[in-house]
Structures are given as structure tokens and as C-alpha cells.
Structure 1
Amino acid sequence: MGRARPSMQELIARRRRAGFVGRSHERAVFRRNLELPPEDEHHRFLFHVHGNAGVGKTFLVREFEQIARERGALTAYVDESVDSVPEAMGTISRQLGLQGRRLKELDRLLAVHRERRREAEAIAVVDAEPGEPSAAGLVVARAGLVGLGMLPGVGAFAGALDAGQLAQGADRFRASLSARFRSQEDVQLVLTPERVLTPVLLGELSEAASTAPWIVLFFDTYERTGPFLDGWLHEVITTDRYGTLSADVVIVTSGQRPFDTARWGGFADFMTDVPLGPFTEAEARGLLAGKGVVAEPVVDEVLRLTGGLPVLVSTLAETRPADPDGVGDPSTTAVERFLKWEPDPVRRAVALACALPRRLDADVFRAVVDGTDTELDALYGWLRERPFVDERGDRMQYHDVVRAPMLRLQRRGSPRRWAERHERLAAAFAGWREETEARLEDGYEWADEDWRELRLAESYHLLCAAPRSALPAVLTDVVDACGQADDLVRRWMRLLADAGQDADAQAVRAWGSDLTRALDEGGKPEVLRFLLGRARGDEPWRARARAELADFLARDGAYERALEEYGRALALDPYLVRAHRGRALTRGGLGDHEGALADVERVVELEPDNPDNIVLRGEHHRLLRHDDEAVRDLSEGIRRAPANAFAWASRGATHERAGDHAAALADLGRALDLKPDYAWALGRRARAWRGLAEYDRQLADLDRALGLWPDWGWGHCERGDALRVAGRHEEALADYDRALTIDPEYASAHASRGAALAELGRREEALAALDRALELRPSYEWAGALRARLSGGPN
């Protein structure tokens, strides 16, 4: 068989490389480094390319990549298209896979990470028992569940996937996830995914290094990716926290700023700093000569207009100008010169029009440019070969140094035409977004990456077309983004900053910078407070912002303030379902189940077709011991959504309390069929086994439940009771002590502990434990009777 023909991308890359002139010293240093073994003291493990926009950092990085591949290296290139460490790892794995070296275990775990992340956003079950523990313990557990979106019909509440905040959420957040997921690894894949994924990445990179002389990882546009990648890379390179990194790996970073010396200063002997400035005159002349541009007046004009910026020198050289037409006009930009020297007016128009979108692919190109398929294919191919167009995966984007003046030229030259083109692009993205929405469940748009990308693009073009009228809708999206992970909020901040800059809309630009500062200073709650503080009183997003802020307050333990914010939200919008639902959950967590039920009734009125709402109402009826109403609602929820494991478990718990153990076992068994690792259902089934005097089965279910959820106070108290009844009092005490470590105000655990101590003859300790139970719950009849018996008379 003959050799496979090169792809279009490969041919374009070859042509671009053929025209690469300059940076000979930097290329030689990098090439020489790959000729040195890692053990050589002159070998460098890290290169950092930095310099202002337009100095050719990406061109040089791509040249480094080609040099590495010529040496047989495996390479991966990461840029600002990623927004997190797991996304960066996914890009590395995908690109190495295209070179025949799949990171199979990393791919598997990344898939699990994405799946678990979606589950944590969309969970519609309760995994906590709200019956016996103290109000304080219940509030903490409920707040954690609310923060994780783990209550029926709640969806993804604020910060559901913010790994930093979840890690601070003490044991209760982890316990809630432990009850949901099969293993602690799955829990960590939601909370701190880099801890699970990085060791696997390093291990598979070491295996891959055995098949290639080098692995070179490139991290471009570091000014944008560095905030979340820099600390991780520093730990990977300089510590063994995640394991060891193969010495055959070379890392190249590239951004506008030098490395942070406070973090990297001690690593200076093992890295090469590559500062880039504009081309020297000799380098610029060499590039121009390579393109046949040698006439001195023309060369002088190019040097004057470009200031030696490689991207502009290359762009102007590509057009091979023959004369310096227009010399002396100081307002003429390099881009205008480029357009003048391009003889085809259609191509000139295409080059300008395609600068409008932030990123470009074949579909977006066709939304911008009119013509037949043949004409469009030819123009698209021509555009892809321009030196100022950089390919990023399956998309392209203009270099900022070229795009910015192109945008300025169009905005100032014809403001109406500028607005019309952006409106056309916004309509195209809106249409694609609506197509995406049609295949998604209601309420889950934010969980879909395609939807988010389309929404961002649509909003960008709306802001460029009409900043003032588009701003309220975009700020509404900012409010909704505060219910997502931090990286998504930052993308909306970046949208405001970019649109404000490109449209020269000072108000939009100020919103972007002010909101970014608020996020940096106080996280998403501070963003919401800033928005509300700036509100004039007619913004459509105020009610949602107050409800979102209330979610944060509830999760952080400020329950009364949360209820106040929910009330303010509902005063602004009495039909806001999420505020009614959030207030119901907060009231329920505080023990006000009557108030919670009233809110849930309103939720059902507003969303009668959502079966999760019916189930939530049934749960509150169960908590209020309205058994008939609970069974009615839970049965209806099961009829509408038969795969809802929580509904089966809650109805089973209702049957168990009513003494119908057979019905309870049937329902709880069904819940466990649907969700085998459902700790709460196991705990409730244990009670049914107890009612049937099946004590071995009771203990087996409790052991399994606590294996899944080791920090479940109610479960430890239940198992302690089972052990105490079996005469295993020392073991029972250990469980009671564990329950009280989790929740020191758990009255039932104090009382049961008193009973176990009494059985062991430790009367004074028993009386103290019972006194504490009665202090916490004065109407606790069982504890009072036991104390009276121990003290020899009425208490």
C-alpha cells in the first residue's frame, strides 16, 4: 500500500512552518534540550515562554511541538479552551490517544468523574434520616444536602460542585455523597477530582514514556489557564503528592506573564525562561525576504506599521505587497494595510466578517458568509491558511492583535452594519441553542456543555449588537451561573469583559471587572451581594439572585437570614418555585415541618407536572406523621416516576412506622433494587427486620449501611440499640459514642447510652447520660422513666 496522503490540517501546518522565520536561538535551545538525557545537569524539565500579545508565543510553541515530534516525542497541547484540571487531563489523554497511546484508565475515570458530576447536579433523592437526631444535627445534614442538590426536586443548588467549598463541608457533605456513590473514590471524583485523577495520569505517562523518547506537554495561553493549572503543575513537578513524574516528560508553558517567582523561584535551576519581544529588524527582514518582500520602501512601511510584532509581520508578508501605498497616514493600521494589499474584495470582506465571532468553525463561517457551497468551501480553506488564524482543536480563532483592530474598524466604520452582523450571529447561536434544549430535560440545560457554549456565544453577540438592552439577560445568566461551579461563573465574567472590550461598551466592561473582583474577594455569595447592591429596582434577576443567596446562607448555617432572603425573593416574585422549595427545605431542616409543607403545597401548585414535587410533599407528610397523606403522595410519585428510589424508600418507611412490615420490606426492597448502595433505605429496612424479630438481618443491613455511610449518626444509634438488645453492651456504647461525636446534641443517643451504661452497672454515668437526654428533650418519656427507675423514684 502507498503512503497515506496527508490531511488538510497537516498540509496547512507544513505551509505555515515553511514560512516560520526567526526565533532561531529559542528553537536551537529547545532542540538541544531534547538531545540531552534527563540525567544531564544541563537538561531542563520546564520551559516558560512569555511576552506581550502578538510577539509570537503560540507560533513558537507550535514550532517546539513540531521539533519534539521530529524527535519521536508524544505531545499534547492545552489552551484556554479548558476550564479545569480534569478538562486539561482529558485534552492530554485525547491527544495522546490520537498518536496511538491511549491513557485507558484515565479515560475511564474521567468518564466516571463526568457521570458523578452530573449525578451530583441532578440527584433527586434524600439520603439523610430527619427523624431522630437533634435539630442542630439535622440542620447541618440538611444544609449539606441542599448544597449538594441532594433533595427531591431541588436540582443543583449553589456551589454544588465547588470542590474547595465542599472539602470544607466537614463530614456531613462527604457522608451524603458516601451514601449516594459506590466508593470513596467516586466521592473524591466529585469533591477533589485531581487527587484521584493525577496519580493515574502520572502512572500512565510513565508507561507511555517507555514507548517514546520524550513526552512533551504544552500549556498555552497560561495567563488564562494558570490560575487553576499553576498550583497543580507545581505540585506535580516538584512534589511526590500524586506520585512521581517520569523524567522523560518535558513541560512547556506559554503566557503573557513571567512565572510567579514566589512559587517557582526554587526551581530556577531546572527550567528555562524564554522571554519574547518583538522581532528584531533582522528577523523581520528575514521573514519578509522569505516571502519575496524586499523592496526597501515596502519593508520600511511594514516595520513601521507592525513594530516588529511577528503576527503582524507575518500577516503583511503573506500578502506580498509591491508598494507602500498610503505611506504617511498615521491612522492607517496594519490590518487596514493587509486588507488593501489583498486584491480580492470578497476575501477582504470575509476576513473582516469572520473576525466578529470569538471562535469559528465551518457552521459559524456559513452563518457569517453568504455564497454557494463551492464558494464557501474555497473561502473557508483560504481563511484557514491565514497566519493570523490559529486552529484550536476543531475550531479556529483570530489572533487578538489582528482581531482587535478588525473589530474596531468595523464598529467605527459602520455601527449599523456592526449591529446587524452581530444580531445575525446571535440568532444563529440561539437557533442552535434551542435545538440543544429540545433534547434536554427541563431544568438541566446548565449541566450540558454544548448548551453553555452556545449560550455564551449568543450572549456575546447580543452584547456587541446592543449592550444596554442585552445586559439584563446576561446578568440573569450570571445569577444562574452562581448555582454552578466556579469555573462556569468565571466564563460569564470573561464574556462580559470580552464583549465590553470588543464593543467598546464601558458599562459592560465595568460589570465584568467588578464581578470578577467580587468573585475573587468573596466567592459566589459576594457576586450575588454585589449584583443586588447595584440593582436599581427593575432588574428581572433580583428575585433569583435573592433565592440563590438564600441557598448559600442556608448551607453556611445562617438559617434565619436565609429565610429572610427567601421571603424577599418571594415578595419580588411570588411564583418563583426555587424560592418556595428552598424555603421549604430550610424550614424542614429547622423542624418547622408545617411551614415547610405549606411551601411545598405552593410548589406543587406551580409545578403540578413535576413528580419530584409530589414526592417531596409526601416526605413532609411522613415527617408530620400524616401517614395516609404520605402514602397517597408517595404512591402518586411512584406511579409517575417508578424509578424514583427515594419515593419507594419513603413509602416503605411510612409502612414500617405503621407496623405493616411486609409492605415496608417490599417497598424498601424495591428502592434497593433501584439503588443497591442506598444507605438510608438499608437503615429503614433494618427497622422493619427488627419489627419482625429478624435481628441478624437487622444488624446485617445496619452494618452494610454504615459501611457505605460511616458518619451517619442515626445509623450508629440504631445499630447501638440493636447491639444493646442483643446484650452486646460494650459494642453498643461504641456506636452511641460515635453517634454523639457526629452530633453531640442527639438526645436519643444520650438516652440509649444511659440504658447501656445501666446494664453494665455504671449507674452514675448512666444517670448523667439520661440527664443530658432530658436536658435536650424535657418531654422524653422513655428517658424520664428509665432515670426514675435508676434513681429509685420519680424523676
Structure 2
Amino acid sequence: MNTQDKPKSLQDIVKQRQQSNFVGREDQVNRFRQNLALSLEDNRRCFLFNVCGQGGVGKTTLLRQFRKIADEAKMISAYIDEVEKTIPEVMARLAQELEQQGYKLTQFSDRYKVYCQKCQELETDPEAPQGFSAFVGKTMVKTGVRLARRVPVGGAVFDIVDEDALATQAGEWASYIAKKITNKDEVHLVKEPEEVLTPLFLQDISKIADKTPVVLFFDSSERTGEFLDNWLREIFENQHGKVSANILIIIAGRQELDKNDWASYEGLIVRLPLEPFTEEEAQQYLIRKGILDNHIIEVILKVSGNLPLLIEMLADAHPNHPNQVIEPSSSAVKSFLRWIDDPKRRQVVLDAAIPRCLNRDVIAKLRTEEEADELFTWLKETSFVNEHSKGWVYHDVVRTQMLCHKRLSSPQSWADIHSKLAEYYDSLRNDLQLEENNKQRDPNWQSHTLNVLYHKLCQSPQKNLLVALNEFLTALKNQPIFAQQYAAVMFQAGKDGDSAEVQYWGKQLANGLKAYEEKRYEDAMYNRALVYLALKQPAKARTCLIPAIKLATEHYKKDTKDWRNAFNLALYCLAAQYTQQADHLYHYALSKGASSESIAKAIQDINDFLTVFPDHLQATSIQQLLQSCLTKSCNLQPILQKTHKSQQQPANQFPLS
């Protein structure tokens, strides 16, 4: 193993340390260095480092330090974060970084190029069957070509899919692929990109690793873990071919890798949970940044909670005058803003937190063309604004505090900026001048649309929510992958704008899509039915609730003692206005000893329902009943004996009309 190049003189050492703001984490750094020094055959050698900890605790900073150490040791490294959304994109990004260092993954890159080309050709071909473009890419085979197998034709599950003549479509898609791609290898590539591309990627990178150690960094796993975690375990399990032992993997995220999922490889993993700085580490960092006043240091430690990101942000303001010190009870953002002398900078750092992504043009919209260059340059130099593949972004922890401060301190300015940005992205979208049939599949149009959605929901959630729900249904019909992004942005807008209803819908829509992927079709249809009910489209809600109730009934009959089955069926009946059936199911489950855990989940489901339909009388009554039984273990027999004459509903009639 190559050792680090040593500085030639004391002056070199002093300069090197002055240029580095990295402090603390000595145990983690030493553990990393020690591992690099071990031979591949040493039983103490580990092949995966897992860095975890809360947002702002310094995970990305530690990864940068690890990468710096690896580079100094003459190792080859590549890094990705949450930008990439599919396994092929992840491999392509890593391959691009390695190629920039002179190490090309030839087999993979050539085949990935063909993959992208064929997907583009299929997606944009005017002869493509209706709805085909929705299934091009990472999930085409899973949700398209295999759809006939996942949704049995003529069966109950088929009935829940909101597509006419789905079986005919699946046949058309298969015929279309066979017609357009005559090469069997290319057909396989388009249908199963991970299966085809991963072995090529591993073969190429292993050839490099056989000569030079390779380190692969995977940051923000809390956002990528859903698809990345399983792929990495497949690599360890040798499902895609042999891998060089000279490859080290570093994964960072807010949660540690699941110990059950990774149990077979625990002996190969180093787990590095990070905590906020110790007081000594925090003081050391501030002194290195030139902050020497003890009173100011005390305030910074107090308002930051010793969280490295907030300490760094406050240090960026260079507070060195006693008059700048404010009450320790103040938030980190308030302290930071007070310590910025330039009023233009003070204003832009707050306003620039509002866009989801920054560039110079966005700053010009927030301020003026004349000020844009200087202010954007200054923002890029701050510790909490990081370069992203699509621009620059605030760190989540800082952005959350900035948004909260802005929304509460200047609600009118908050709304005005969101309105201005919504108009800006709408103009960018219109400037594309795309035909109606091509809009949904164009990545630039999608990006601008998501920004318009975000800013409109933040500006006026109640005014724009129903429009957003309608647009989601359109996306779901044409581009399910885009619909996933749409739901995620709705959730983000609800969270950032402090709108419980918008946040609920974002979560609910995402859960519905996930339920469908996991073959929990009754959950998926219930979620879609709620959208139609909110849009006052009861007929369409009925087409979703009928099969949801049918499937839930089948599950309930199979195991009447699984209380989740009973409560799910009760919830669907409640949504369908089957009041008698819903009441009976809730009371039956409670009287037969439903577990506290299942009751708590039922309460959560009812609370979610009431978030959208707060005036629903039966849901309110059921919520009170469930809560009472959970907290007081009430006697249900008198309740069960009550009649509900006002709620009688024939079981063979569907009440939505």
C-alpha cells in the first residue's frame, strides 16, 4: 500500500494545516488510515465503511477527508450523492468520475451509451403505443412488459389497474419492442439494464483495482438507500460476478445500514456513528477560523448545539466584535444574519434558501442583474451552499432553519418570492415550446414543472392543491417515474411551507405508488380513491374502492385474527360510505382484543383521513372510539349492543353516486 507523501519542511506542514478546516474525528480518521495500511489478506481488513449521523453532523465533510487521504495514498476514488435516481445512473456517474482521472470503464461505458440511445429512440418514437414512454428506463420491464404477469388478466388484481385494455397494451408494447429492436442483446439491455450493465461495470472497475486501489463513496444514503442498498448487497453476494478485493466502499447517511440485512457481512464493515463536536473540538475549529473572543465562542456553541454545520455557518459570518453578540437563546440563523454586516448579503442569504436549486440566473430574479454576480459568488463561498449536478443547493439543516425564519418573519415576502419563482420557471417551461405529446417525457420540462409545483404550493397551498392533485393523476397516467418525483416535491412543499394537508398528500401519493410496486394493490387503489374524493369525482373513486374492498375482504377472510386486515377493510368501507360495515368491523376488532399496535396504526390511518376530510362525522366518531380504547381499555360490549339506525346501508349497494 502506498503511503502518504510527507511535506518537505516545517513551513509546508504549517501551511497545510492552516489551509485545512478539518478538526476532530480523530478516531474515525485513524480507523480509516489503519484499514488502508492493512493487506487485503489481513483478517482485520474491512471493505465497507458506514458513516451515519444526524443532518449537519459532518458526514459529507468526513467523506471529503477520507477521499483526501485516499488521494494522498495514490488511490483512485469516485463519489456520488442523491442526484442519481437509478442504478444505471449511479454506475454512469462513477464511471464518469473515474474517466476524468484517466481510467475509462470501456465495456460499461460503450454499453451504457447504447442503452441510453435505445431508450431515447423508443421513448420519442411517434409510433410508440399509447402509454409506452411511461415504462421506458429503470422500471420498464417491471411495470410494463411484465405487467401482464403482475396483474392477472381477468382477476381481481387486474380490475384495480386504472388502464383500459391493459392486457392488450402489454401485448402491443412487447410487439413494439420486438419490431423496433431486432438485436436480442439490445432487447435484453433495455428490459434488464441492471442485470446487463452491472457485470460490465464490475469487470471494468476490477481491472483498475487489480493495479490501483479504488475507493467508491456513496453519500446521502437516506435518499438513495431504497434502490442502492439492495444492489450493493447483490454485489457482495456475488450475484453479478466476482469483484476485486482492492475496492473499498464508503456509505454515508442519516441511518446506519440495517444490521439484519447486512448480518452476513458484519465482519467486513466498520460502523462510524458521528456525534456533534465535543466542546474542545468546537473551540479548536473556531480558533482555527480566527474567532478568539470567549464570549462569542460561548454564544456559538450555545446556539449551534455543537453541530459542526451550524458552527461552520456561524463562523463564516466572522463575528469578532462584542456588540455583535446576541442572546444565547437565539437561533443559529438569527445569529448568523445579525453577524452579516452587508444588508444585501443578509437579505439574499435568506431569500436564496427559497429556491430548491440555485444558479446565477435565479439570484438575478431574487435581486437584480447588476448584483447577481457578486452575490452569487459570495453565496458559493459559504460553508452551507454546495455544488450540485444541477446547480448549487443549501444544506438541508441550514435551509430548513432559513425557510422557517423567512416564512414566520416575512410571510408576505415569502409568498411574493414563491410567486415570482413560479412565474420564472413557468416561463422557462413555456420557452421549450414542446408539443403536448412530448412534454411529459422531456427532462427539462419535468424539472421546470416540479419547480412550478413547489413554489405554487408554498405560495398558496389551498389555492393550488387541487390543481396539483389533477396534475399528479396526469403524470401517473403518462409517466409513473415522474409521478414519483411529483409526489416527493409535494411532500417537500408541504413540509417547507408548514402545510399539513399538502405534506399529507405528498406522503399519501408516494405511499400509493410504493404500495403498487410492492403488490399491495388494495392500498394503492385506496390512495388513488382518496385523490378522486378530494377532487369531488365520486364515480372515479368508486372504480378504485370497489376492487380495494374486494381484495381487502379476501385478506380478511383468510385471517380474521390479523387485525390489520380488519382495520384496513374497515377504513376502505368508511371511505366508500359503507357506514354499517365500517362500524361493525371497527367494533368487532376492538371487542375481540385487537392489539395496541394495530389500534395505534388504525388511529394514524383515521387521522390521515381526517386531514383531508376534517368534517367527516363517522371518521371523527371512530377516531374517538379508537383513542378511548387505546388509552382507557374501555368496555366495548355496551357500544356493540347499540344500533345505528341512522347509518343503515344495504350491503349490496355502493353509496358513492
Scaled by the length of structure 2, the TM-score of the pair is: 0.71
Question: Conserved in 1, the CA contact under 8 Å of 2:326 and 2:335?
Answer: no
| Cα separation, 2, equivalents of 1:259 and 1:177 | 39
Residue-by-residue CA offset, 1:226-247 (whole Å, 9 max, x unaligned): 00110001111x2222111121
Alignment correspondent of 1:74:
76
Question: Conserved in 1, the CA contact under 8 Å of 2:76 and 2:213?
Answer: yes
CA positional deviation for 1:89:
1.1
* Residue 156 (str. 1) matches residue 133 (str. 2): yes
CA positional deviation for 1:340:
0.8
Alignment correspondent of 2:297:
299
Structure 1 runs not aligned, ≥5 long: 1-13, 126-149, 553-795
| Cα separation, 1, equivalents of 2:415 and 2:56 | 28
Specify the SS of the correspondent of 2:77. Answer: strand
The residue identity in structure 2 corresponding to 1:446 is: Q
The residue identity in structure 1 corresponding to 2:405 is: L
Question: Conserved in 2, the CA contact under 8 Å of 1:479 and 1:544?
Answer: no
Alignment correspondent of 2:36:
34
Residue-by-residue CA offset, 1:42-85 (whole Å, 9 max, x unaligned): 22211111011111111111221222222222222111111111
Alignment correspondent of 2:226:
227
Q: Which of the numbers 99, 105, 116 marks the counterpart of 2:107?
A: 105
| Cα separation, 1, equivalents of 2:323 and 2:505 | 42
| Cα separation, 2, equivalents of 1:397 and 1:83 | 17
| Cα separation, 1, equivalents of 2:442 and 2:83 | 16
Alignment correspondent of 1:593:
none
RMSD over aligned Cα atoms = 3.0
* Residue 245 (str. 1) matches residue 223 (str. 2): no
* Residue 502 (str. 1) matches residue 480 (str. 2): no
CA positional deviation for 1:528:
5.9
Residue-by-residue CA offset, 1:87-127 (whole Å, 9 max, x unaligned): 111111111122122223322222222233334434555xx
Residue-by-residue CA offset, 1:301-336 (whole Å, 9 max, x unaligned): 111101110000111122221256586746521011
| Cα separation, 1, equivalents of 2:47 and 2:18 | 28
Question: Conserved in 2, the CA contact under 8 Å of 1:159 and 1:486?
Answer: no
Number of aligned pairs?
506
| Cα separation, 2, equivalents of 1:157 and 1:534 | 21
Trace 1:743-758 onto structure 2 (pairs within 5 A): none
Residue-by-residue CA offset, 1:583-630 (whole Å, 9 max, x unaligned): xxxxxxxxxxxxxxxxxxxxxxxxxxxxxxxxxxxxxxxxxxxxxxxx
Trace 1:207-222 onto structure 2 (pairs within 5 A): 207-210=207-210, 213-222=212-221
Residue-by-residue CA offset, 1:274-314 (whole Å, 9 max, x unaligned): 10111111110110111122222211111110111000011
Structure 2 runs not aligned, ≥5 long: 1-15, 150-169, 549-657
Alignment correspondent of 2:282:
284
The residue identity in structure 1 corresponding to 2:221 is: Y
Q: Which of the numbers 37, 43, 46 marks the counterpart of 2:45?
A: 43
CA positional deviation for 1:206:
1.6
Alignment correspondent of 1:535:
532
Alignment correspondent of 2:177:
177
Q: In 2 relative to 1, CA 488–549 (structure 1 residues): closer, same or farther, beyond 3 Å?
A: farther
Aligned-residue sequence identity (percent) comes to: 33
Specify the SS of the correspondent of 1:447. Answer: coil
Alignment correspondent of 1:482:
476
* Residue 316 (str. 1) matches residue 321 (str. 2): no
Specify the SS of the correspondent of 2:471. Answer: helix
Alignment correspondent of 1:365:
363
| Cα separation, 1, equivalents of 2:217 and 2:305 | 28
* Residue 275 (str. 1) matches residue 273 (str. 2): yes
| Bigger Rg, which one | 1
Specify the SS of the correspondent of 2:216. Answer: strand
Trace 1:4-43 onto structure 2 (pairs within 5 A): 18-43=20-45
Q: In 2 relative to 1, CA 105–470 (structure 1 residues): closer, same or farther, beyond 3 Å?
A: farther
* Residue 396 (str. 1) matches residue 373 (str. 2): no
| Cα separation, 2, equivalents of 1:226 and 1:42 | 27
| Cα separation, 2, equivalents of 1:24 and 1:419 | 45
Q: In 2 relative to 1, CA 396–544 (structure 1 residues): closer, same or farther, beyond 3 Å?
A: farther
* Residue 378 (str. 1) matches residue 378 (str. 2): no
Q: In 2 relative to 1, CA 369–97 (structure 1 residues): closer, same or farther, beyond 3 Å?
A: farther
| Cα separation, 1, equivalents of 2:357 and 2:253 | 19
| Cα separation, 2, equivalents of 1:306 and 1:57 | 17
| Cα separation, 1, equivalents of 2:39 and 2:488 | 42
Scaled by the length of structure 1, the TM-score of the pair is: 0.59
Q: Which of the numbers 59, 62, 70 marks the counterpart of 1:60?
A: 62
Q: Which of the numbers 515, 520, 544 marks the counterpart of 1:521?
A: 515
Question: Conserved in 2, the CA contact under 8 Å of 1:419 and 1:465?
Answer: yes
Trace 1:643-792 onto structure 2 (pairs within 5 A): none
| Cα separation, 1, equivalents of 2:296 and 2:288 | 14
Q: Which of the numbers 257, 261, 264 marks the counterpart of 1:263?
A: 261
Q: Which of the numbers 420, 428, 444 marks the counterpart of 2:424?
A: 428
The residue identity in structure 2 corresponding to 1:435 is: D
The residue identity in structure 1 corresponding to 2:314 is: L
Q: In 2 relative to 1, CA 111–364 (structure 1 residues): closer, same or farther, beyond 3 Å?
A: farther
| Cα separation, 1, equivalents of 2:120 and 2:17 | 43
Alignment correspondent of 2:408:
412
Structure 1 range deviating more: 281-290 or 479-488: 479-488
The residue identity in structure 1 corresponding to 2:188 is: Q
Specify the SS of the correspondent of 1:462. Answer: helix
